[in-house]
Amino acid sequence: MLSDCRLKPIRFISRHAFERKATLFALFLATFPMTPFAQIKRCGWIDNPSPANLWLTDREGQWIVSEQGGRRAVGADFIMPSDRTEFVSMNNGYGYFCGCLSVDARSNESVIATVLSFTQLSLKRCNTDPSLEKRDLGFNQDSFTE
């Protein structure tokens, strides 16, 4: 019975095979983006000029949330103004408003990957923020008549 319990020999790989596998593994790792996502709260103007186009402009610049025919952040559908009096309509219900987004973003690409939460702020809050561009709050193209 004991004769059936033999140890199997340890299998060694050649140095060449090891180096080849190590190189392939390094190339595999290099294909992944090296910029991690960072969870952060961003506040500023939220523009929705047309269907599926949505971006946030804060003190650091413009952050893409969604592009028509392109990428779309997870949770982008939840970014809707709840108070229509704090919304400037420019194009048949599309326009801009002020708000804060808690997001996962890749800062070197100005891209928002995931929207974790959204809070609408007053238009006045963004318009009086010195780090943001002032906007016309009275013009409403939808109600404009010639």
> Which among 49, 48, 42, 39 is positioned nearest to 131, based on CA atoms?
42
Strand, helix or coil for residue 85: helix
Query: What is the average per-residue pLDDT within 25-46?
Result: 67
Q: Which residues pair with 117 in a beta bridge?
A: 102
Higher-confidence residue of 34 and 131: namely 131
Q: How many CB atoms within 10 Å of residue 76?
A: 17
* CA distance linking residue 146 with residue 34, whole number of Å: 54
Ranked by mean pLDDT, the top range of 36-40, 87-91, 103-107, 125-129 is: 125-129
At residue 55, does pLDDT exceed 50?
A: yes
For residue 145, give both structure tokens: 């008549």
Q: What is the CATH number of domain 38-133?
A: 2.40.50
Sorted by where each begins, the domain ranges of the chain are 38-133
**What's the CA gap between 121 and 21, in Å, rounded?**
54
User: What long-range pairs does 68-77 form, CB within 8 A, spacing at least 24?
Assistant: 71/111, 73/103, 73/111, 73/112, 73/113, 73/114, 73/115, 74/113, 74/114, 74/115, 75/114, 75/115, 75/116, 76/115
